[in-house]
C-alpha cells in the first residue's frame, strides 16, 4: 500500500523560503476527520496563520524558516498505530498525536528517528515529550483534589478515538492515586446507550463526578447532548452529579460575553447543562471574536462563521508557535548551531509569546505550565 493512501490527508502548507535560511520541518499529526472537535478545527488555516506570524516575529526571524505538513491520524487506533510508524522523515519535530493511546509509540518512534515530539495527548510524564499544553491529567487531578472529590467515573463516546482516550485518562488518574470506577462507554446498538452507561455509574453508589470523554455539546457534540439529557431525565442532575468535559482541557472554550443559542433556546438542555463543570484554557478574549478579527484583516481568508469552527484551531496555532519558540531557545543556547529535533527535549523554556487569543508564558519548565 502506498504511503500516501495510508496517511489519507497529506497537505503541504505555506512554505516561505529565504536565501541562506535553513528550514525546520514540523509535522502536525491529528485525527482530522474523526470528530467535530478535530474536523472543524481548520488545521491548515491554523498552521498557515502561525507560520505567517512567525515571519514577522523579530525574535524568531534570526533563526530558521518553518514549514508544516499535515498528517492524518486514522480514527481506528490500530490503524493509526500502524500508520504512525510510516511517518518517518516528514518533520524534524512532530506535533501530535492527540490520542493518548498513541503516545507511547510516538515517543519511541521520535527517539528512533532523532526527532522532537510535542504531543498534547501524552498523559504519562514518563514518556519523552515536549508538552505543548499543560497535561490534562495534571489539571484534572488538581481540580479534583481542590474540591476533595475522591471517587470519579469516566464515560466515553462510542468511538474508537474517545473510548481509548477514556481508558488512558482513567489510567493516568489512577497512577496519581485517584480511584476511578467505573470506566464505561455509551453504546449505540440501542437507544438506551446513554441511560445504560449512567445506570452503571449510579449503581456504584460512590462516584458523583463523571469525566466525559467526547466532544462538547457547545462545539457540536451530539453524544454529550444525549448523555446530559438522559442524566436530567434520570434525576442525576437533581442528585448533584457533576459532569466534567475532558475535551475542553485541550482548547480555550469561549466564555467571555457570549451566549450559546443551543442552551438559551432549550430550557431542558440548559437545565441539564447546569450540572457541567467546564475547566478550560484561560484566554484574553473570546476565540470567536479573535477569529472574526483575523477574518476582517484577511489573515484568515475563509468566510466560514467563527461559531462553526472548533476552538482547537487556537490550540493548533499555539502549538506550532510554541515549538518554533523552543527551537529558537535551543538554537541560541547552542551558539547558533543547527538544532536537531531530539534537542527540543532539553528546552529550558523561559519565554512567552502572543498565542491565538491569549498570552502564553513558559515559566521555564519545558512546557506551557501557566496555560490553564
Read off the pLDDT of residues 215-249 as tens digits, 9 standing for 90 and up.
999 998 999 999 999 999 999 999 999 999 999 99
Is residue 11's pLDDT more than 80? no
Sorting pLDDT into bands at 50, 70 and 90, what band is 59? confident
Tell me what the pLDDT averaged over the chain comes to. Answer: 88
Residue 6 pLDDT greater than 60, yes or no: no
In the chain, beta strands by DSSP E: 10-12, 23-30, 65-72, 93-95, 116-118, 152-156, 180-185, 209-213, 242-245, 352-354, 359-361
pLDDT category of residue 363 using cuts at 50, 70 and 90: low
Quick: pLDDT tens for 247-264: 999 999 988 778 888 898
Mean predicted confidence (pLDDT) in 306-326: 94
Over residues 75-93, the pLDDT tens digits come to 999 999 999 999 999 999 9
- Contact assessment for residue 309 and residue 291, using Cβ atoms and an 8 Å cutoff: yes
CB burial readout 222-232, b (16+ within 10 A) else e: ebbbbbbbbbb
Q: What is the DSSP letter of 345?
A: G
361 phi and psi angles, rounded to 5 deg: -125, 130
* Nearest alpha carbon to residue 330 among 319, 339, 321: 339
Looking at the predicted structure, is the pLDDT value of residue 3 above 70?
no
Grid cell digits, residue 131: 508538552
Q: Which CATH class is domain 3-133+288-361?
A: alpha beta
- Determine the Cα–Cα distance for residues 39 and 31; give it in Å rounded to an integer: 8
Local confidence band at 190 (pLDDT 50, 70, 90 cut-offs): low
Residue 61: what pLDDT?
Answer: 66
Domain with CATH 3.40.50.2300 in the chain: 3-133+288-361
Better-scored residue on pLDDT, 130 or 62: 130
Task: Give the neighbor-by-neighbor strand order of the sheet with 242-245.
Answer: 180-185, 152-156, 209-213, 242-245
d(CA 350, CA 332): 13
Contacts of 200 (CB under 8 A, 6+ apart): 182, 184
Evaluate if residue 2 carries a pLDDT over 50: no
Q: Which residues lie across from 28 on neighbouring strands?
A: 70, 95
Q: Does domain 153-273 have CATH number 3.30.1330?
A: no
Q: Which residues pair with 242 in a beta bridge?
A: 209
**Is residue 9 predicted with pLDDT exceeding 50?**
no
Average pLDDT over every residue of 288-310: 95
Q: 10 Å Cβ neighbour count for 156?
A: 26
pTM across the whole model = 0.90
As given in the structure block, the three cell numbers for residue 313 are 484551531
Is the pLDDT score of 14 beyond 70?
no
Running DSSP on this structure, what letter comes out for residue 74? Answer: P
Q: What is the DSSP string of 209-277?
A: EEEEES--GGGT-HHHHHHHHHHHHTTTTTTT-EEEESGGGGS----SS---HHHHT-HHHHHHHTTB-
Whole-angstrom Cα distance, residue 80 to residue 295?
34
Using CA atoms, how far apart are residues 294 and 285, in angstroms rounded to an integer? 13
Residue 3 exposure: Cα atoms within 13 Å on the Cβ side: 9
Give the separation between CA 161 and CA 98, rounded to whole angstroms: 9
Say what the pLDDT of residue 259 is: 84
Residue 190 vs residues 49, 157, 197, 202, 234: alpha-carbon distances, Å: 43, 14, 12, 20, 17
Measured CA to CA, the distance from residue 287 to residue 294 in angstroms comes to 11
Cα-based distances in Å from 10 to 28, 198, 323: 10, 39, 20
Judged against a pLDDT cut of 80, whether residue 200 lies above it is answered with yes
> What pLDDT shows up at residue 62?
72
Better pLDDT: 61 or 327 = 327
Which of 67-76, 128-137, 185-194 is least confident? Answer: 185-194
Amino acid at each position: 500500500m502506498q504511503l500516501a493512501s495510508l496517511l489519507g490527508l497529506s497537505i503541504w502548507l505555506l512554505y516561505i523560503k529565504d536565501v541562506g535560511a535553513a528550514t525546520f520541518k514540523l509535522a502536525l499529526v491529528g485525527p482530522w476527520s474523526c470528530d467535530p472537535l478535530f474536523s472543524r478545527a481548520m488545521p491548515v488555516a491554523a498552521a498557515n496563520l502561525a507560520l505567517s506570524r512567525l515571519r514577522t516575529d523579530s525574535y524568531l526571524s534570526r533563526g530558521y524558516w518553518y514549514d508544516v505538513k499535515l498528517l492524518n491520524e486514522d480514527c481506528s487506533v490500530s490503524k493509526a498505530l500502524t500508520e504512525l510508524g510510516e511517518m518517518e522523515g516528514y518533520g524534524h519535530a512532530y506535533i501530535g498525536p492527540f490520542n493518548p493511546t498513541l503516545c507511547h509509540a510516538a515517543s519511541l518512534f521520535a527517539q528512533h528517528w532523532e526527532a522532537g515530539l510535542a504531543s498534547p495527548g501524552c498523559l504519562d510524564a514518563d514518556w519523552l515529550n515536549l508538552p505543548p499544553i499543560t497535561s490534562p491529567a495534571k489539571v484534572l487531578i488538581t481540580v479534583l483534589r481542590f474540591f476533595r472529590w475522591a471517587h470519579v467515573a469516566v464515560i466515553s463516546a462510542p468511538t474508537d478515538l474517545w473510548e481509548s482516550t477514556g481508558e488512558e485518562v482513567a489510567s493516568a488518574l489512577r497512577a496519581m492515586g485517584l480511584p476511578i470506577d467505573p470506566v464505561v462507554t455509551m453504546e449505540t446498538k440501542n437507544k438506551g446507550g446513554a441511560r445504560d452507561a449512567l445506570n452503571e455509574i449510579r449503581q456504584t453508589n460512590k462516584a458523583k463526578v463523571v469525566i466525559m470523554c467526547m466532544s462538547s455539546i457547545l462545539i457540536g457534540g451530539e453524544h454529550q447532548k444525549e448523555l446530559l439529557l438522559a442524566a436530567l431525565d434520570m434525576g442525576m442532575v437533581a442528585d448533584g452529579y457533576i459532569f466534567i468535559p475532558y475535551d475542553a482541557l485541550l482548547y480555550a472554550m469561549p466564555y467571555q460575553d457570549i451566549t450559546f443559542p443551543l442552551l438559551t433556546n432549550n430550557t431542558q438542555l440548559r437545565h441539564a447543562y447546569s450540572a457541567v463543570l467546564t475547566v478550560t484554557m484561560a484566554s484574553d478574549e473570546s476565540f470567536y471574536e479573535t477569529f472574526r478579527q483575523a477574518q476582517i484583516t484577511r489573515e484568515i481568508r475563509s468566510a466560514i462563521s467563527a461559531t462553526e469552527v472548533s476552538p482547537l484551531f487556537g490550540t493548533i496555532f499555539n502549538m506550532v508557535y510554541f515549538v518554533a519558540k523552543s527551537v529558537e531557545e535551543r538554537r541560541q543556547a547552542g551558539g547558533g548551531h543547527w538544532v536537531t529535533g531530539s534537542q527540543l527535549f532539553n528546552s529550558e523554556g523561559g519565554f512567552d509569546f502572543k498565542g491565538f487569543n491569549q498570552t502564553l508564558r513558559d515559566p521555564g519548565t519545558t512546557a506551557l505550565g501557566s496555560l490553564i
